[in-house]
Amino acid sequence: MAVRITLSPTALGEIERLRKAQGAPQGQPIALGLTRGACQPLAYRLKFGELPPPTADAPSANAPVHQVDVGGGITFLIAAEDIPHLQNLHLDYAEDLVGGAFRFQNPNAAEVCGCGASFQPAAPAP
């Protein structure tokens, strides 16, 4: 299955800003995963580097891992089990009066928490 994830120009810019701030090498992939959420069953996890080993809170963070080219020279690593919950995700970044944050526009979410960091999947959670 082809995996489709898109980024807005502001998300691309924020990722590059964070890459420089954190000293992450150019070309280093970004791990996009799911963990148990606080307000909804699943929460997004985004960090430079490999997917972390599986834990009780993130049992799907294991192989096989898909490499998804999201444009702008950026590759996301996504565990196969998470793909049904992340397919066609659009990642945006926006600033407001209390600061900036990534905004996840996920067509697989049946409900989203108030801050947008966790969601109720339309399909059963892994």
Instruction: Please report how close the Cβ of residue 114 comes to ligand FES at its closest, in angstroms.
Output: 4
> What is the torsion angle, in degrees rounded to the nearest 10, for the CA atoms of residue 4, residue 117, residue 22 and residue 87?
-10
Residues that bind ligand FES (CB under 6 A): 37-39, 113-115, 117-118
Task: Report angle CA 44, 45, 47 to the nearest 5 degrees.
Answer: 145
Beta carbon nearer to ligand FES, 25 or 114: 114
Q: Which is nearer to ligand FES, 39 or 77 (CB)?
A: 39
Q: Which is nearer to ligand FES, 43 or 65 (CB)?
A: 43
Q: How far is the CB of 43 from ligand FES (least distance, A)?
A: 6
Alpha-carbon separation of residue 3 from 53, 54, 69, 85, 117 (angstroms):
22, 22, 9, 11, 21
